[in-house]
Amino acid sequence: MKRTLSVYAVIVVICLQSVAFGQTADLARYNDPPSRLRGMIENFDADYGILNRFYTAQTSPNRSARFKQLYTDYQTALNGLDFDKLSHDEQVDYILFKNYLEHEQKEAARFDAQLAEMAPLIPFARTISDMEDTRRTLKDLDSAKAAATLNDLAKQISATQASFSAPNATKPKRTVANRAARTVDGLRRTLGNWYRFYNLYDPVFTWWNESPYKAVDDALAKYSAFITNKLVGIAPDDKTTIIGDPIGRDALIDELKYEMIPYTPEELIEIANKEFAWCENEMKKASRDMGYGDDWKKALEAVKQKYVEPGRQPALIRDLAYEAINFVEKNDLVTIPKIARDGWRMEMMTPERQLVAPFFLGGETILVSYPTDGMTHEQKMMSMRGNNPYFSHATVFHELIPGHHLQGYMAERYRPYRGDFRTPFSVEGWALYWEFLMWDMAFQNTPENRVGALFWRMHRCARIIFSLNFHLEKMTPQECVDFLVDRVGHERDNAAAEVRRSFSGDYGPLYQIAYMMGGLQFYDLHHDLVDSKKMTNKQFHDAILHEGPIPVEMVRAILTNQKLTKDFTTSWRYYPGLSK
């Protein structure tokens, strides 16, 4: 027994010596350099989370006021720091957090303005949000009074609908009405949550409120349908009409400032047109190599016809994924941890989701669009043509490695507290940048592959043009669809799905421009640091992945050790050849 203990003692000493003389160096790579702002940011996230879960009525003035106070409190705390005494990493976090808080305050003000714009359509919103807020405070409920409130509420909703049905009624803007319909649906869910909290658990409540609640729920459902059908103009069986909600030039400028993009919407459209012209020229080169002369749309059509049979798309995607991974590893472009290389998954996209995502979606799981037996013949053909091997060759690695999957894997391990500052200019820009780089490195090694890659590059240009013009109220959704079909060569259903996705409200107004603009930012930074031999490709790419999905100008500031001030404003004109 003593001998066994002695052996254990020796093992412990050896292990401790190993830690002392080597293992601590290995452990260092698992930890970010410390930032004293991390705790403040994480505390903010915790405070935001509890308030967001408490104030569940989205239209509640109490919710609005409480969040505004939260932003002010943290701004005050941030202003109390001595910026000049912070490390460079901490200064970056300071600027990111300051930028975020200022943006959230502007977003809160914009939301309040939208509510005010909808007020004539939803005069009953305050009653419903107050009921839910009161429930959250756990105050005793007078069931009889609640029933009276519900009874009056049903009458008010019906009266509001009647007022907009009158022949001389002033009709709201179609976009405002569409937003109001969604808000009414949200109010209906809020009231349902309120009712279910008491119903059945309190017999007296149910006795008083069952009938009045059903009347209000029915009135809200009918009113939402009325707004959608009569004020927006979408029939009950219409699953395709796209409305959207343009935000205007001033709001676009505010969003661009937040994303650290120092260009106007008009300048960005100019950049997109320049890039589009480059793509068309390269398309003609590939078309000539395929034997179609300068008629690149014929070459595009020939590529679309080379789709795989139903059931074979997963095998194609698998092979394309590993082709890209092997290319990246062979050229030593970025570190790919084995668990990331082996751990990604594939699933097929549902037919319903393909209405808004006709191509890939990706990350740790790549979602593959391809026809199902329930689609019409035309829908099947458009899906197969739009997901042909050559289009896919340029997008599988965008979604997986070295694109979104590798990016997400690293973001969970390095500076995860910067998740609040996540921007599509970094997330989508990173994946698109790899399309630029792998083009330069001849990964697209056949004319057909070049056509596929150029199709997507033109698509990114088109996204800038149509999305900004929509928010500037210069293009309608239908004109956006036509633009994708006529200029880029999209299948019409796929084009409609792209536009629907852009303007459905699930993505920010700058999301669609972020792909190419973020890609151009990383591309310019690569030129400054890698082409100049200051860093290797692997050093450059690994460094980016260790900083989180933050604005690319902040990544640039980190990699170049740029001197920063607390009032930092964007100034990086990353696109050469564009006059100020």
Q: Is the pLDDT of residue 456 over 70?
A: yes
Read off the pLDDT of residues 529-554 as tens digits, 9 standing for 90 and up.
999 999 999 999 999 999 999 999 99
Strand partners, 97: none
Contact between 232 and 181 under an 8 Å Cβ cutoff? The reply is yes
Whole-model pTM? 0.89
Between the alpha carbon of residue 388 and those of residues 283, 360, 449, 453, the distances in Å are 17, 12, 10, 12
Q: Outline where DSSP puts E strands in 24-108.
A: none
Q: In the 8-state DSSP scheme, what is residue 167?
A: T
CA–CA gap between residue 145 and residue 208 (Å, rounded):
9
Per-residue model confidence (pLDDT) at position 243: 85
Per-residue model confidence (pLDDT) at position 350: 81
Per-residue model confidence (pLDDT) at position 13: 39
Contact between 237 and 225 under an 8 Å Cβ cutoff? The reply is no
What are the DSSP calls for 206-238, one per residue?
A: HHHHHHHHHHHHHHHHHHHHHIIIIII---TT-
Average pLDDT over residues 245-259: 94
Helix (H) or strand (E) holding 432: helix 424-440
- What are the structure tokens assigned to 568, written together? 């930092």
Q: Is the pLDDT of residue 491 over 90?
A: no
Average pLDDT over residues 237-256: 87
Read off the pLDDT of residues 50-97 as tens digits, 9 standing for 90 and up.
999 999 999 999 999 999 999 999 999 999 999 999 999 999 999 999
Name the pLDDT band for 28 (thresholds 50, 70, 90): low
- What are the structure tokens assigned to 9, written together? 């003692």
Q: Is the pLDDT of residue 267 over 90?
A: yes
Contact between 226 and 161 under an 8 Å Cβ cutoff? The reply is yes
Per-residue model confidence (pLDDT) at position 19: 40
Average pLDDT over residues 322-333: 97
Q: In the 8-state DSSP scheme, what is residue 361?
A: B
- What are the structure tokens assigned to 357, written together? 């995502």
More confident residue, 20 or 551: 551
Per-residue model confidence (pLDDT) at position 349: 82
Name the pLDDT band for 12 (thresholds 50, 70, 90): very low
More confident residue, 371 or 400: 400
**What's the mean per-residue pLDDT of the chain?**
91
Nearest to 430 by CA among 464, 392, 401: 401
Q: Is the pLDDT of residue 204 over 70?
A: yes
Which are the contacts of 219, defined by CB distance < 8 A and separation ≥ 6? Answer: 153, 154, 157, 158, 161
Per-residue model confidence (pLDDT) at position 356: 66
Per-residue model confidence (pLDDT) at position 3: 44
Read off the pLDDT of residues 344-394 as tens digits, 9 standing for 90 and up.
998 888 877 776 677 777 889 988 888 887 888 888 888 888 889 999 998
Per-residue model confidence (pLDDT) at position 374: 81
Q: Is the pLDDT of residue 18 over 60?
A: no
Q: Is the pLDDT of residue 474 over 50?
A: yes
More confident residue, 241 or 518: 518
For the ranges 175-179, 236-240, 472-476, 522-526, the maximum mean pLDDT occurs at 522-526
Which phi and psi angles does 165 have, rounded to 5°?
Answer: -90, -15
Name the pLDDT band for 470 (thresholds 50, 70, 90): very high
Phi-psi bin for 84: left (phi > 0), alpha (psi -120 to 50), beta? alpha
Between the alpha carbon of residue 143 and those of residues 148, 197, 204, 402, the distances in Å are 9, 13, 7, 59
Per-residue model confidence (pLDDT) at position 119: 97
Per-residue model confidence (pLDDT) at position 2: 42
CA–CA gap between residue 114 and residue 133 (Å, rounded):
21
C-alpha atoms less than 13 angstroms from C-alpha of 157 in its C-beta half-sphere: 30
Domain residue extents for the chain:
40-238, 251-559
Q: Which residue has the tokens 């009135």?
A: 219
Nearest to 226 by CA among 149, 125, 122, 152: 122
Per-residue model confidence (pLDDT) at position 281: 97
The mean-pLDDT minimum among 26-40, 272-286, 403-417 falls in 26-40
